[in-house]
Structure 1
Amino acid sequence: MFNFDVERFLKIQNGAASQKDAIDKALDEIEGKGGFKNLFLIGSGGAGILMMPAEYIMKTHSTLPVYREAAADFLAMNHKHFGPDSLVVMASLSGTTSETIEAAKFVKEKGAATISFVGHGDKPLAQATDYTFVNFAEDDTSCESFFMQFYLLIARIMNKRGEFPQYEAFANSIAKLPEGLLKVKEQVEDRAKAWADKHKDTPYHLLVGSGTSWGETFYYAMCILEEMQWIKTKAVSANDFFHGTLELVEKGVSVILFKGEDETRPMMERVERFAVQYTDELTVFDSKEFELPGVDAEFRGWFSPIVFATLLERVSAHLEHVRNHPLTTRRYYRRIQY
């Protein structure tokens, strides 16, 4: 595969999957100290967006109240459901995101239990929370790493509440996922190159996702195509597509659909039926097309965004090459004061 280190990828993703025991222990300790009555998922930018699938799964499988908030919003809003009996989970790949660090200090002062997921253990966020899970990753590997760790956390939370008896089977599937994701990359490699070659000069894309896959859809539009490639995008959920965005679809407009395998798949099929009639630039990525050996079929809907993240990395690798625009290039982000 082009510009890809297999050993590095597997080391990072297996590292994420191996956090299970440490996550179990942390939650046991928090429970021993009185537990919590609600769950807050807090991050900034991409790290916060990547918490969306975990939020969705909690809402569809658990009665525990869950609130996903951007760190800056959380600090400004005086959230009435937050208190010392909340569990606050935070994430930042760099561990240096200022708004998230400020939020961590704030919630800790209020007496809430805190957990962070970071890529570096010596950074401020890692030092600001009660429990810190460190798994080195970089932009090209962080999505899968974060998704797997977030999933292990919420699955164990639900398991301890009697809402997810399949926890051990789920954790076993997580452990098998890295090798399966490698096969996804291999399977999509030629298609990713062809797509990048075709769309290297496309100025604008509409991206549509739903359910567990909506967060990855939003993330790829904003954090990769916009931030890292300076390509204009519109990300819209399938449930909103027919309430405005459909009017932008016409011949020549690039529309990218992410068809997952959860209960919202019919929404994506509806968008596909519409889009295929009105644009000649329709791309459909369907997680169902990819085998995940050893992964329990009942969890595939949860894993769809991870499949999309891993195949989109292949798209990005080819896109930066054919556009001569490295994914690390920035004009403003962490380059100037703002």
Structure 2
Amino acid sequence: MNPKQIIKEIKGKQEEIKSVIFVGCGASKAELYPAKFFLDSNAKNLRISHYTANEFNYKTPASLDETAIVISASLGGSTPETVKANAKAKERGAHVISLTNAANSALTKDASYVICHRFAENYGAKLEKMGYALELAVEILEQYEGYAHYEDMQIAFSKIYDLSQRAAESAIEDAKKFAEAYKNDPVIYVMSSGATNEVAYSTSICLMMEMQWINSGSFHSGEFFHGPFEIVDKDVPFILLMNEGSTRPIDSRALTFLQRFDTKTTVVDALDYGLSSAVPKAVVDYFNPMLLTAVFRVYAEELSYARKHPLTKRRYMWKLEY
């Protein structure tokens, strides 16, 4: 079933939905954030929340009942905390929709609906989990409240995957320069804003810390001036994932300060990859994360080659019990 059919079926069973709860861990949690951001920005009646799975399990929201839709995600479908979250959501009567790359994984056991996405095929495929979550959010809003820019979103969905694939392919030379410049840095900071905020977070905790063992921190561009800017100095390494749309002035203000003090700054800008030429202006905010995720994946790959440290290399993950 596609997102439209899934929400239509839920609506047939449950006329009133009060809560939408997004649940995941690590990169999967971050990939649910654009959908959460979309609903926060547009829903007038729905209560929206976004949990790391174990907090959902230990401090379960009171809103979890038959009037809740839970959207969970796990790439391999075996993340224990998220599997447990599905069971808890099912036990409370919620409508559980799970996103995974693994069709018969543990995550699917307690899900009311499952959407299997691609991942390894190409850069566009790596965006499908994020894209399906956003599609579900759009359908929830449209079918339960109505959404003025629904058709604009459909146009954007029809174009974003091919655009992101082309953008990633075109980024290789810039990514190689980034890799050479940053390969010996002991710490790299990452920031962004708007719907891309948790792409910056997952870039920091997953691509840098998990996959490259580089110390890193991430923060919202709007929070930069409320603490983090005190570590700015010449040659301190930053990555700014720069958005088109509503929050661009927030990113621009941070960039101006970084340039003022001659920091070592890499800007990956959605504007440079033609996002607004393909996506209607009214909805461009919600597609920055997909484009920027595809492009920065190339940067991370080139960094791994320059450091001779494969993105799949781990010390603890999958090797120890924890």
- Is TM (by shorter chain) over 0.5? yes
Partner of 2:12 in structure 1?
32
Secondary structure of the equivalent of 1:236? strand
Partner of 1:136: 118
Distance 1:146 1:78 in 2: 24
The answer for the alignment partner of 1:101 in structure 2 is 83
The alpha carbon displacement at 1:271 in A equals: 0.8
1:43 aligns with 2:24: yes
Deviation at residue 294 of structure 1 after TM alignment: 4.1
Checking the alignment, whether the CA contact within 8 Å between 2:149 and 2:283 is kept in structure 1 is no
Give identity over the alignment, percent: 25
- Aligned pairs for 1:249-260 within 5 A: 249-260=232-243
Question: What residue number does 1:262 align with?
Answer: 245
1:177 is displaced (CA, Å) by 1.7
Q: Normalising to structure 1: TM-score of the pair?
A: 0.90
| Other-structure match for 2:307 | 323
**2:272 corresponds to 1:289:** yes
Supply the RMSD in Å over aligned alpha carbons.
1.7
Change (3 A) 1:95 1:136: same
Residue 200 of structure 2 corresponds to residue 217 of structure 1: yes
The one-letter amino acid of 2:273's match is F
Superposed, 1:1-338 pairs within 5 Å as: 22-35=2-15, 36-63=17-44, 64-138=46-120, 141=123, 143-292=126-275, 294-338=278-322
Structure 1 residue 66 displacement after superposition = 0.5
Once residues 53 and 72 of structure 1 are traced to their aligned partners in structure 2, the CA distance between those partners, rounded to angstroms, is 21
Task: Give, in whole Å, the separation in 2 of the partners of 1:85 and 1:211.
Answer: 28
Q: SS of 1:154's equivalent?
A: helix
Q: Distance in 1 between matches of 2:20 and 2:145?
A: 16
CA distance 1:240–1:295, change in 2 (3 Å): closer
Gaps of 5+ in 2: none
The alignment partner of 2:206 has SS state of helix
Mean Cα displacement is larger for which, 305-314 or 172-181? 172-181
Q: In the aligned structure 1, how far is the partner of 2:173 from the partner of 2:279?
A: 24
Cα distance change on mapping 1:223 and 1:139 into 2, 3 Å = farther
Could you tell me how far 1:172 is from its partner in structure 2?
2.9
SS of structure 1 residue aligned to 2:212: coil
| Distance (whole Å) between structure 1 residues aligned to residue 265 and residue 235 of structure 2 | 9
1:174 Cα offset (Å): 0.9
Q: Report the residue type matching 2:225 in the other structure.
A: F
Partners of 1:185 and 1:318 in 2: how far apart?
12
Instruction: Report the Cα distance in structure 1 between the residues aligned to 2:121 and 2:213, rounded to whole angstroms.
Output: 16
Rate the CA distance shift 1:111–1:125 in 2: closer, same or farther, 3 A. Answer: same
Give, in whole Å, the separation in 1 of the partners of 2:188 and 2:48: 32
For normalisation by structure 2, the TM-score amounts to 0.94
Judged with a 3 Å threshold, the aligned counterparts in structure 2 of structure 1 residues 23 and 105 are, in CA distance, closer, same or farther, namely same
Task: For 2:249 and 2:166, locate their aligned partners in 1 and report how far apart those are by CA, in whole Å.
Answer: 26
Q: Which amino acid aligns with 2:286?
A: W
SS in structure 2 at match of 1:81: coil
Range with bigger deviation, 210-219 or 164-173: 164-173
Q: Against the structure 1 CA distance between its residues 136 and 290, is the aligned structure 2 distance closer, same or farther, given a 3 Å change threshold? A: closer
Alpha-carbon distance change, 162 to 78 in structure 1, aligned in 2, over 3 angstroms: closer
Whether the 8 Å CA contact 2:187–2:237 is kept in 1: the answer is yes
Q: Which amino acid aligns with 2:22?
A: L
CA offsets, 1:238-266, max 9 Å, x none?
12211111111101201111110232221
Unaligned runs of 5+ in 1: 1-20
Instruction: Letter of the 1:204 partner, please give it.
Output: V
The CA distance in 2 between the partners of 1:157 and 1:92, in whole Å, is 21
Contact 1:173 1:296 in 2 (8 A): yes
